[in-house]
Amino acid sequence: MRWLYGHVDLLRHLRFFVAVAEEGHFGHAADRLGMTQPPVSQGVRRLETKLGVTLFTRGARGVRLTTAGAELLPRARALLDGAEQFEEEARRQREDRGAVRIGVIPALSDRQVAACTAAVRAAAPGPAARTVITTTASTTDLVEAVAAGRLDCAAVHHPALLGALTSGPVLTLPRWLLLPADHPAAGRRPTIRSLRGLACATAPRNHGTAAFDLLADTLRAKGLAPEFLPAPGDRDAVAAVAAGRAFALTADPQLDVPGVVRVPAGDDFALRVRLVWQGSAAEDARTAFEASLRSAS
């Protein structure tokens, strides 16, 4: 298709069209756009000429959308939204150039994530500080992002389906059981069976199928088959526990909130993670990332 004017002009004139449609007046639309009225009127007329349809009926008190204008308005808005998203993505790509992009699962505590980010940043070669962009997401999404090249490396649950990605050793991080403060098992070293009647607040199965199934199997082996409540991170889990609905697991050794008791969970419920990456990407960052996680194990 041949355009009478470039796509940049098209987007500009679409902005005029949307502004006039929403304001119902060329002068008010021009004020909103920070310009005089003639360019707005001319731009809308050029758009109408190009499209071969009349977008507005004009009168002394303002303008009204025609049937064609009303039908095209949502599409105009969608095109403008798409252009803004395109520009935002381009800006992000520009700002991310040279940055190290790492991923972490919500099961890691805020303290652990901060330590990993700081370690990767400190590993930057030379005197200039490296930009580190840290993304929190499920194991499934992190594996996909690393495979697609959107992340340099990520700490994910073990076990997990990793496809062709390279992975580091399995690191074992201690975890603690979170119980409602008024639960009978909260005043002593609880057994897993003593948690009957409580749901288990944990990341949903689609966040990491293999790790979820391992947790469920471990609980069943200890005599418990609980209902599962979706809780991707500590905030969701703590809310469910404080409400008396569930127990949960946390990797944060300093988590201390009202209505919740924290007790050691034991080796069977430790958090097992490993780093994944492609090829030899960001080797110095990976080394620092893994060392930080290892220090927490």
| Other Cβ atoms within 10 Å of 157 Cβ, number | 25
- pLDDT tens, residue by residue, 177-215: 999 999 998 877 889 999 999 999 999 999 989 999 999
More confident residue, 189 or 288: 288
What domains lie within the chain, and their CATH numbers? 7-95 (1.10.10.10), 98-171+273-296 (3.40.190.10), 175-269 (3.40.190.10)
Q: Verify cis geometry, omega within 30 degrees of 0, for the bond prior to 159.
A: yes
pTM confidence score: 0.68
- What number is the average pLDDT over the span 61-73? 90
pLDDT at 5: 44
pLDDT at 89: 73
From residue 15, alpha-carbon distances to 21, 29, 65, 158, 297 in Å are 10, 10, 15, 50, 55
Residue 130 has pLDDT above 80, yes or no: no
Q: List own/partner pairs for 40-45 with CB under 8 A and 24 or more apart.
A: 40/16, 43/12, 43/13, 43/16, 44/13, 44/16, 44/17, 44/20
Backbone φ, ψ for residue 273 (5° rounding) = -130, 160
Nearest Cα residue to 16 out of 53, 59, 45: 45
Check residue 155 and report its DSSP letter: E
